[in-house]
Amino acid sequence: MTLNSRSSRARGALLLLIVSAATGCLSTQRVPFSEGADLGQISGVTTRSGREIQFADKGASISNDTLYAQGRTGQLALPTDSIARLSSRHFSAVRTAGLLGGIAAGLFGAVLAAYLIGGGWGGAGY
């Protein structure tokens, strides 16, 4: 294995780690909708028909029995009587620790396997 291919694999592994960490460290909390709910941090809604709608930006407001938020394709206006649940995404320390622990265990296993298959660090592959 050449230095270039090792470097390329290391970059690929780092990219996978970053993407996994960015998505795996968040948890979604869903709560039943009520007109008095705090809408400042919500990131989406679930309608009574089961459709999940994610917002482009956090937060929403209610005016005249209609919820307004910024959708991925523009302004959203949803009748409040069609909303079943509110959702918000938050950083999760437990998920982050689990993800990093799993990645570390996987990397350790890969290095150990390479060591054993190659006959130690002095093997033909190195």
User: What is the C-alpha separation between 41 and 77, in angstroms, rounded?
Assistant: 17
* DSSP string covering 5-23: HHHHHHHHHHHHHHHHHHH
User: What is the C-alpha separation between 82 and 103, in angstroms, rounded?
Assistant: 41
pLDDT for residue 78: 94
Which of 84, 92, 101 minimizes the C-alpha distance to 30?
Answer: 84
- In sequence order, what are the residues at sequence separation of 6 or more whose Cβ sits closer than 8 angstroms to the Cβ of residue 85? 30, 31, 32, 33, 45, 46
**Prediction pTM value:** 0.55
User: Looking at the domain 27-91, which fold is it?
Assistant: SH3 type barrels. (2.30.30)
> Which mean pLDDT values do the consecutive 10-residue runs of the chain (126 residues) have?
56 66 69 84 93 91 93 92 89 71 82 77 56
